[in-house]
Amino acid sequence: MALSNDTLTELSYAEAAVLALQREMETDPKVVVLGEDVGRGGIFGQYKGLQQRFGDQRVIDTPISEAAIMGAGVGMALAGLRPVVEMRVVDFALCGMDELVNQAAKNRFMFGGQGRVPLVARMPGGIWDASAAQHSQSLEAWFAHMPGLVVVSPSTPQDNYSLLRSALQCGDPVVYIEHKGLWGARGPVDESLDVPLGQAARLRDGDALTMVSWGKQVQACADACDALAQQGIAVDLIDLRTLWPWDRETVLASCARTRRLLVVHEAVQAAGFGAEIAATAAEATGCRIARLGAPRIPVGYAAVLEAQSRVSAEAIAAAADRLLG
């Protein structure tokens, strides 16, 4: 869909999220926010000004207990509200896993659809500069593995606006993973643009190979595609955007055409979600496949150690060259 310049606003990734929440809260009085520091705007500014606009009964500051925050959010959702549950970073969400995995994810199934949990759990993920092993994890594969959860990973301000609105309208629990390194990234946002959950975006067109990624890693892939283009190699670059349900139709159609697939993610490569995409593509198309992710090590604090966990554009281009053989 082409965007009209008349409808575009230049926003940061964080500002786009604030605008999406503002629009949903204006439209639906059942949308509420709860979490630590949300009243002062959140640690990344992703709630800036919302408590002043909607009051402290809809933007609720909580004690420091992820289990209590998530549990309260599940209860609110079952009672008919649409809570946005702020976990600060995905690493801290592990303290609320029981409430999310054993309650939110399973309620609709276990009670025959009598209960719904329309909850959005915001869990900023990925490497956070100089923040070390307990603040830099990419855990999306954990949540994609869990039946009952929707998993979203926006890579641009536009997607953070449109996908957050779609997540709030979903009706089921959504794990919403914004990358910690993207909050200041700026780009055009069209408020009229709807992006449904489960729909990937094709960012480059090519027939040499298919490249699939999500989140901040998409930018490194785009940089790699630019370098490959200088060698005359045209890549079909796909931003998955939603990890579950993921857009199999778009990915498999591309793989069937290019006959080569490179899946790239910032998460540890071992048992990462890229393995699911790779296996599905192999079974459906028989194409040649390669995966590229981080080594199975904790993210280091020192810059030289942290760099070992990053998947660079140069590494991506080299992996593509190897796949092309």
Q: Which residues are catalytic?
A: 135
Spatial distance between the Cα atoms of 87 and 89, rounded to a whole number of angstroms:
6
Q: Which two tokens stand for residue 239?
A: 């931003």
- What end-to-end distance do the CA atoms of the chain give, in Å? 35
Spatial distance between the Cα atoms of 314 and 307, rounded to a whole number of angstroms:
13
> Nearest 5°: phi and psi at 31?
-80, 125
SS (H, E, C) 120-181: EEECCECCCCCCCCCCCCCCHHHHHCCCCCEEECCCCHHHHHHHHHHHHCCCCCEEECCECC
Residue 265, C-beta contacts closer than 8 angstroms, at least 6 positions apart: 138, 213, 214, 215, 217, 272, 273, 274, 292, 293, 311
Nearest to 124 by CA among 138, 143, 105, 112: 138
Asked if residue 300 lies in contact with residue 133, where contact means CB atoms within 8 angstroms, the answer is yes
Provide the Cα torsion 91, 94, 179, 59; round to 10°: -110
Spatial distance between the Cα atoms of 271 and 251, rounded to a whole number of angstroms:
20
